[in-house]
Amino acid sequence: MHYSFSLDGVTAQDLEGFCVGWAHPLSGAKLLSVLKGSYRVILARQEEDGPIVGFIQAISDGVLSAYLPLLEVRPDFQGRGIGSELVRRMLKELDGLYMVDLCCDEALVPFYERMDMVTVRGMVRRNYRALHHG
């Protein structure tokens, strides 16, 4: 597996087909915009110039805190350690920050606990209408 930090040459088409199982999956174009606005992105590919099979995104102030909004691995590549490796690499990138936070579904808690993350209480607001715009 090849991991890279660059979005150079990545197109919206390269990101189609992610967000499987979402009620309103993001298009490749929307994902590309999201990733371009990130503090850090790590892409996983089978080969250096092969199709993207997974990615992780961080948003951050670069000083104190970061948030990991998206970790996606194509369904046919899940269970191969790609998601774990993406998280490990991103946490290493963000190692100097005081806090790295994320929200996840209950079923994913054991996965993130294996990455030395702990469950805390948090609050969120979701505007599902926003997924249909822009």
Looking at residue 107, which CATH number applies to its domain? 3.40.630.30
Total domains present in the chain:
1
Residues 92-112: what's their mean pLDDT? 95
Domain limits at 89? 2-132
Cβ-contact 55, 44 below 8 angstroms:
yes
What is the percent of the chain where pLDDT is above 90? Answer: 83
**Digit-coded pLDDT (tens) for 54-85:** 999 999 999 999 999 999 999 999 999 999 99
Contacts (Cβ under 8 Å, ≥6 apart) of 97: 60, 63, 64, 65, 66
- Region of poorest pLDDT, from 8-12, 64-68, 116-120, 121-125: 121-125
* Residue written as token pair 């606990």: 113
Per-residue pLDDT band for 126 (boundaries 50, 70, 90) equals confident
**Digit-coded pLDDT (tens) for 32-60:** 999 999 999 999 999 888 999 999 999 99
Size of the chain, expressed as the number of residues it contains: 134
